[in-house]
Amino acid sequence: MALKTEEMTLNLGPQHPSTHGVLRLELKLDGEFIVDVIPHIGYLHRCFEKHAEAMTYPQIIPYTDRMDYLASMYNEFGYVVTVEKLLGLEVPERVEYIRVIMGELQRIASHLVALGTYGADIGAITPFLFCFRDREKILSLFEMTSGARLLYNYIWIGGVARDLPPDFLRLTKEFIVYFRPKIKELNDLLTFNKIFIERTANIGILPKDVAVNYGITGPMLRASGMKWDLRKDDTYSVYNKFDFDIPVGEGRMGTVGDCWDRYFVRILEMEQSLKIIEQAINQIPDGDVTSAIPKRVKPPVGQVYVRVENPRGELGYFIVSDGTLNPKRIKVRAPSFVNLAVISKLCNGHMIADVIAILGSIDIVLGEVDR
């Protein structure tokens, strides 16, 4: 008698510990092996783009916070840069420096969540709490500056909400001194752990050309060996004044573009961000941070697409203005949304546990995927 076998369908999510939110992955399984992965998104769709059409430009800023809630500062940053380009607005130099410092601190905070939860996905809980312990310190800096810990509404069109508090630069310097050894601690505990390497090296390999074709950006693209960072390649704000490297994946533990590379690129990026913050603190000029904030934001008719290097990749805002106080259309090119699309390509032939490893290495934020 011939035995009959059939594929098993397993719904990973919408409520699942390691989908990082409400994502549903429909897995087609052959035993423990993946035949196909079909992502279903939209559980967190909050109609950001529709809401934005009914609001004035400054009113939209708090809503951008709520998209990628782990990198709120950078979402505001991207949005105001776009609107300023549409308005043709010049902002004071001090504002640009503040934005860069905030953006890079946010990048570290966001990467800490990515790395920590990745460790938790692989089964190591302790690095997760270590990362959150350090992230708390950054959040305290943000709280001191903007009054909020997660959703800041700090970077405004033409400036920032208020100047840095007096102690901020000193505390940030102290944080840098504190944080550098913590990266080494994380490396010792997790990055170079044999089991961790076994679980992530040679898993979910993403070649460079596929990555570009799928529109993958950010640490994921760099892990595939492409030196591409909008802070250098399509520079904005004052990033051209700083000296920093773009880390790329080298396939140190396996193949270029595997999960371990994606993880390690983020570690290296944190070090580069520290470097940028250090330089920015030393160079920051004095000045008024609210002088250029326009009383009424009414851009001329036109459209503009501006992109910035969010912790997760290329965050683009496409704004169409019809000359009124409300935008006619805002479309967000959300890096998580784009990066997630490649998952079915990465997972084929791997096991269930690898799907978790791959999903974690993409580092999605569902608030941004669904907007």
Please tell me whether residue 309 binds other proteins under the rule CB under 8 A. Answer: no
The binding track of 239-278 with respect to other proteins, each residue x by CB under 8 A or -, is: ----------------------------------------
Pick out residues in 8-37 that bind other proteins (CB under 8 A).
8, 10, 16-18, 32
- Using CB under 8 A as the binding criterion, the count of chain residues that bind other proteins stands at 73
Selected binder of other proteins within 7, 30, 90, 126 (CB under 8 A):
126
Six-digit token string for 47: 């109609």
Cα three-residue angle 311-162-140, rounded to 5 degrees = 55
Report the Cα 97 to chain-centroid distance in Å: 20
Site for other proteins (CB under 8 A): which residue of 22, 151, 189, 293? 189
Site string for other proteins, 320-349 (x = CB under 8 A): xxx-----xx-x-x---xx--xx-------
Cα 305 to Cα 225: distance, rounded to the nearest angstrom: 26
How far is residue 280 from each of residues 107, 158, 172, 238, measured CA to CA in Å? 15, 19, 11, 9
Output the six-digit token pair for 268: 């290296």
**What is the Cα–Cα distance from 18 to 356, expressed in whole angstroms?**
7
| CA atoms of 164 and 277, how far apart (whole Å) | 14
Task: Kindly indicate which of the ranges 62-70, 94-102, 150-158, 187-195 contains the residues binding other proteins, using the contact rule CB under 8 A.
Answer: 187-195
Residue 213 binds to other proteins (criterion: CB under 8 A): yes
Compute and round to an integer the Cα radius of gyration of the chain. Answer: 21
**CB under 8 A: which stretch of 100-108, 117-125, 155-163, 285-293 binds other proteins?**
117-125
d(CA 148, CA 144): 8
Answer yes or no whether residue 198 interacts with other proteins by CB under 8 A. yes
Residues 6+ apart with CB under 8 A from 180: 271, 274
Tell which positions 74-113 bind other proteins, by CB under 8 A. 85-88
Residue among 68, 96, 121, 368 that touches other proteins (CB under 8 A): 121
Cβ proximity to other proteins, 275 vs 331, nearer residue = 331
State the minimum distance, in angstroms, from the CB of residue 143 to other proteins.
20
CA–CA dist 112, 266 (Å, integer): 9
Among 233, 245, 250, 288, which residue interacts with other proteins (rule: CB under 8 A)? 233
Interactions with other proteins, residue window 146-165 (CB under 8 A): none
Among 167, 174, 195, 287, which residue interacts with other proteins (rule: CB under 8 A)? 195
Indicate the residue among 211 and 277 with the shorter CB distance to other proteins: 211
Min separation Cβ 119 and other proteins, Å: 7
Using CB under 8 A as the binding rule, whether residue 171 contacts other proteins is answered as no
**Tokens describing residue 1:** 């008698």
- Of 313, 341, 335, 355, the closest CA to residue 39 belongs to 341
